[in-house]
Amino acid sequence: MLKTNEKIFEHFFGSLNNLKVTRNLKVTRKGDQLKSLFHRISLNLFASILCCCLFFSIAFATGNDIVKEDILTAIEKKYAGKSFEANFTQISRLAALDITEKASGRALFSHPGKMKWEYLEPEQHEIITNGKLFWIFRPQENQVMQGDASFFFKSGAGGAFLSDISLIRKNFTISVKEVTADYVEINLNAKKENSDISIVIRISQKKSEIVRVVTYNPYDDTTLFEFSNIQFKKINPDVFEFKVPDGINIIKMY
């Protein structure tokens, strides 16, 4: 009887052990299946997220390209071949010396390449170019500086693109910086390797007018111009010529 009982217990515990193994095997298999399912879900989810990211990135880039093209077309239509004048305020900052200077006056522009900056505050002086020569006239110092406009206003520097809007597409790599309900800002980076010009221009959404220009150089110096009371009108070409008064010192710039 004892041996019989031992056999029964051995069989019983053996069955339990086998049952445990079977259950463990089932649990293991279920665990493997869950892991496999989770792995597939993770891969599918990652692929979906990646596709969404790519889609939104492409959509964002495409959207920016559309905005850029729309705003460039708008300002080209507004400014191409036209003359205009505007009030301006200027804030210049020299980073190395931590100096900020402010000035204001009236500016006139005519296509192609003609400009006249009349500074009224803090002191009167003029910067004039007929597209070939340029003059900086300082009456209080009894002097005029004269040079080659093509050298000093190359690549659209000094606001030259305002007198020839085609220079923006021609000389700069363009990207959208900011878009609001009131304005669009675009970055202009000079295409030429030997040029360090970097410009941000702000265009009003309502009138497609350039209302702000900020220029940067590698030394962190900035010059900001804000334009107001912009008027498109015919301007006498003689405004962009300069006749040196008698007794004025002439300084040649090359």
User: 117-132: per-residue pLDDT in tens?
Assistant: 999 999 999 999 999 9
Distance CA 119, CA 102 (A): 11
Of 82, 223, 106, nearest to 162 by C-alpha is 82
Q: Is 96 exposed, middle or buried (0-12, 13-18, 19+ CB in 10 A)?
A: exposed
At residue 31 the predicted structure's pLDDT band, cuts being 50, 70 and 90, is low
Query: Mean pLDDT in the chain?
Result: 79
The dihedral built from the CA positions of residue 71, 157, 221 and 117, taken in this order, carries a sign that is negative
pLDDT in tens, 45-87: 444 444 444 444 444 445 678 889 999 999 999 999 999 999 9
pLDDT in tens, 176-223: 999 999 999 999 988 876 567 789 999 999 999 999 999 998 888 999
In 3-state terms, what secondary structure has residue 234?
coil
Cis omega (within 30 of 0) for bond into 139: no
At residue 157 the predicted structure's pLDDT band, cuts being 50, 70 and 90, is low
